[in-house]
Amino acid sequence: MQEPIVEFELTKEFRDRFQEALDSRDEAFIRESLQGIKAADITALLYEFNPEEAKYVMDLLPIEMQAEIISDLDSDTRKKNLKVYQPHEISEFLNHLASDDTADILHELPVKEREEVLSGLDPELRSQVIELLRYEENVAGGLMAKELMKARYHWSVVQCIDEIRKQAENVSKFYAVYVVDDQDKLMGRVALQDLIITDARTIVGDICEKDIISVETYLEDREVAEIMRKYDLESVPVVNVQGQLVGRITIDDVVDVITEQAEEERQAMTGISEAVEEDDSVWRNARARLPWLLIGIFGGLMNAKFMGLFEVQLARVTAIAFFTPLIQATGGNVGIQSSSLIVQSLANPNFVDEGLWKRLIKVFFVAILNGLFLSVLVLGANVLLFGEYTLSLIVSIALFSVVVFASFIGTITPLVLNRFGFNPALAAGPFITTINDLLGLTLYFLTIRLLLI
Amino acid sequence: MQEPIVEFELTKEFRDRFQEALDSRDEAFIRESLQGIKAADITALLYEFNPEEAKYVMDLLPIEMQAEIISDLDSDTRKKNLKVYQPHEISEFLNHLASDDTADILHELPVKEREEVLSGLDPELRSQVIELLRYEENVAGGLMAKELMKARYHWSVVQCIDEIRKQAENVSKFYAVYVVDDQDKLMGRVALQDLIITDARTIVGDICEKDIISVETYLEDREVAEIMRKYDLESVPVVNVQGQLVGRITIDDVVDVITEQAEEERQAMTGISEAVEEDDSVWRNARARLPWLLIGIFGGLMNAKFMGLFEVQLARVTAIAFFTPLIQATGGNVGIQSSSLIVQSLANPNFVDEGLWKRLIKVFFVAILNGLFLSVLVLGANVLLFGEYTLSLIVSIALFSVVVFASFIGTITPLVLNRFGFNPALAAGPFITTINDLLGLTLYFLTIRLLLI
């Protein structure tokens, strides 16, 4: 009797030992060490090696496992690794994958190669995949798989189970049988457990659950994710505009959507402009960071030019310069906080849209409260630390205005970005900070102009 | 024949009309408008009303639906809403929920009320829940449900199906039967579809999949999520240290873990110090923002004090002040980018730990590349815009140093926070910006001291 295995852990020692075995083409060691390891673990291991080495390892594995690994790899690595394969070899993998995974991989190939790979697919898979390739990758049609269990409304449970027997080899994971009418229109679903516990002569239409959630092919992937999360669905049927059942989406695809979204949002927020990972090359890392740094630099130069207009005042009261970092940092922080909260509520489509005005009024009150608190605090601190009454008052007035205006900009920017179809999370990063830096400086020197000189 | 329903949309008009109906206790309207709506949609609607109004709506619904809604609500709202219920009413709900959801809700109640509610539970559920309450909420034991389908190794498929018939009313969603030996040790699993298509006399032990993934009760929830994502599992069995099957975790629980994690990370990154939503009160919104703003203010005051030490130099060359925003903003941006990439790779436990040195050396090269590029660019721009050669050179040298040092601090801070058990995402927010503001200023004035005066 065998123990249930626990997760395989990829250690640096194992990686190094494996690299040695690869260098010396030590097939025996490699075969032995891959014994009993799951495909997902081999995938993780392959990230450590170059495409030729990865192919050498893959060639020692059963074709089903190779297919699973290819499908598991992240898109960038897969593109790189597949370069060392012939189109007919790729077709061979794909013939062991589900239609949705096959379509995802084909999307990544150059058009010419895609056609060659397509022509090597089994006829049924090919026609399924050709249908899937019509959809954008970020809509329900692009997420769905064609493989599903389908039963007619008037079938008996016995007929249904017979059909499952026939279809079982094509459908690897299923939780329910979808029930359709003679025009393939989706009518409902029967849970597998209900098929097991129901009398064999019962008509499927009588035991099927009827008011089920389905999604249309063109629904955006993040909306599909939200629906599955909200209604706790492990799979959801996809229908076309005629209401005909055309595919199904399973929760594992949606988990990937959620994870990718969170990652995209983080990158947008922290000013990294292309998908990049710490272990990508130095060059790529540098390039991904540059665009936002340049925007920051441009903002900084504008700041310098602007301050130059006040050279006379600065020369007279040098201490004016001391407080620009305080004003700007607070503006930046308030702006990011505000936009982050808006991004959060935009990500949650459940909320009832309160209308722009109600929102702004609320943000305004929060800003007044924090602005008052901080500016009184800073007034006290400045009088104690620097003893300059007029300047301290000016700093506090500017600080208060900055908190209010930065809240406003932080609130409005993600809403505007979202309206025009950009990722609103962009507003929770360097973009908003750059704007608020300039804003802070302007308000500060405006106050100085009005009150000091 | 009924159409499969699509998602219900909560509009402002409907909400307002519903509020009117609630104010006039218009039972007929409320009953009618809730007809055919799913529990998850009613949950979304209830967020719009106060606890008494919510209870009024709930009381018009079947008890199973009430239970589902209570379990769907977010923790804060649930706590508020349950205040208007008696302990025995709460027990009634819970008797219609699974053990994991029941335990989650009990965790939120005050100890005395928890005991009263526990005593009102059905004996079986009570003993299951008492076991679950022993675990921390953020480990596998705290996520798992006790309800599962269990079969002995030596049973036949027929015995197994009989047992499913008996257990089916307690277990609402299941995808597999777990196979155990006589000591309850987990041996493997059988997919429901395999039970359907296999001959009834087959022994379960012969058709069960044996090398399955399981998790131990004390495994952290984010690790459970990572394992389920990696291996594409829709449910995972939980075992105790003796390897005995004690529960199972389903993918929907894990989707919640992933979503919460992303939200927590965003809040940490954007300087919001307690879980808060845009629609919470003005007071709460203001309070959640203050701590990080105060840290920013403190940093700003230190900046001011520090610049004060260079009053003589500033008075002589006012233009020095023009470039502090440029230097500080770039330092802030570089720091956040660096820490964001480290946070990302810390969140992905698949990577092989390269060792601190290798990491730092890479970060160093990226910083050199970007630092050189930016400082040459700024040198050119400054000479063109301001024509001050020495100061322009100083600014570029300081800028270069800031890019290098801020990269270093942005890399090391999340690693240190992580080592000491804090959320590393904290380092991708106001914290790192405040440190880098001070760092930028120090490097800038240090360069001035060395080269200018």
- Look at A370 and B196 and tell me if their CB atoms are within 8 Å: no
Q: Alpha-carbon distance A322 to A328, whole Å?
A: 11
> CA of B28 to nearest chain A CA: how many angstroms apart?
23
Q: Does B361 touch chain A (CB under 8 A)?
A: no
Whether residue B244 has pLDDT greater than 70: yes
Nearest CB neighbour to A286, from listed B187, B370, B433: B370
Nearest-Å Rg of the Cα atoms of chain A is 30
User: Which residues numbered 49-108 in B keep a CB inside 8 Å of some CB on A?
Assistant: none
- Look at A290 and B373 and tell me if their CB atoms are within 8 Å: yes
Give the pLDDT score at B352.
Answer: 52
Whether residue A371 has pLDDT greater than 80: yes
Determine the average pLDDT of the residues in A272-281. Answer: 69
Band of pLDDT at residue A279, cut at 50, 70 and 90: low
Tokens coding B434: 């405040």
Checking ipTM against 0.90, whether it exceeds it is: no
Whether residue A104 has pLDDT greater than 50: yes
Measured N-to-C along each axis, helices A111-119 and A87-94 cross at an angle, to the nearest 10 degrees, of: 60
Least reliable range by pLDDT among A191-195, A273-277, A295-299:
A273-277
Say which DSSP state A9 is in. Answer: -
Can you name the residues that pair with B237 across neighbouring β-strands?
Answer: B248
Whether residue A72 has pLDDT greater than 70: yes
Give the pLDDT score at A1.
Answer: 36
Please list every residue in chain A whose beta carbon sits closer than 8 Å to the beta carbon of residue B227. Answer: 7
Whether residue A351 has pLDDT greater than 60: no
Whether residue A2 has pLDDT greater than 60: no
Give the pLDDT score at A4.
Answer: 42
Please list every residue in chain A whose beta carbon sits closer than 8 Å to the beta carbon of residue B250. Answer: 234
* Domain architecture of chain A: domains with CATH: 12-134 (1.25.60.10), 150-262 (3.10.580.10), 282-451 (1.10.357.20)
Q: Does B449 touch chain A (CB under 8 A)?
A: no
Band of pLDDT at residue A354, cut at 50, 70 and 90: low
- Look at B374 and A44 and tell me if their CB atoms are within 8 Å: no
Nearest CB neighbour to A330, from listed B300, B333, B386: B300
Give the pLDDT score at A114.
Answer: 92
> CA of A112 to nearest chain B CA: how many angstroms apart?
32
Amino acid at B442: T
pLDDT tens-digit readout, B209-234: 888 899 999 999 988 988 888 888 88
User: Which residues numbered 208-247 in A keep a CB inside 8 Å of some CB on B?
Assistant: 210-214, 216, 227-232, 234, 237, 239, 243
Whether residue B403 has pLDDT greater than 60: yes
Q: List strands edge to edge, sheet with B245-250.
A: B215-216, B235-239, B245-250
Q: Alpha-carbon distance B357 to B190, whole Å?
A: 47
- Look at B345 and A187 and tell me if their CB atoms are within 8 Å: no
Nearest CB neighbour to A321, from listed B239, B278, B321: B321
Nearest CB neighbour to B259, from listed A258, A263, A272: A258
Band of pLDDT at residue A363, cut at 50, 70 and 90: confident
Band of pLDDT at residue B5, cut at 50, 70 and 90: very low
Least reliable range by pLDDT among A134-143, A425-434, B433-442:
A425-434
The answer to whether B440 touches B406, Cβ cutoff 8 Å, is yes
- Look at B5 and A165 and tell me if their CB atoms are within 8 Å: no
Q: Does B334 touch chain A (CB under 8 A)?
A: yes
The answer to whether B363 touches B411, Cβ cutoff 8 Å, is yes
Q: Alpha-carbon distance A426 to A436, whole Å?
A: 14
Name the one residue in this structure whose structure tokens are 């698949």.
B350
Count CB pairs under 8 A between chains A and B: 421
Q: Does A301 touch chain B (CB under 8 A)?
A: yes
Say which DSSP state B102 is in. Answer: H
Whether residue A3 has pLDDT greater than 50: no
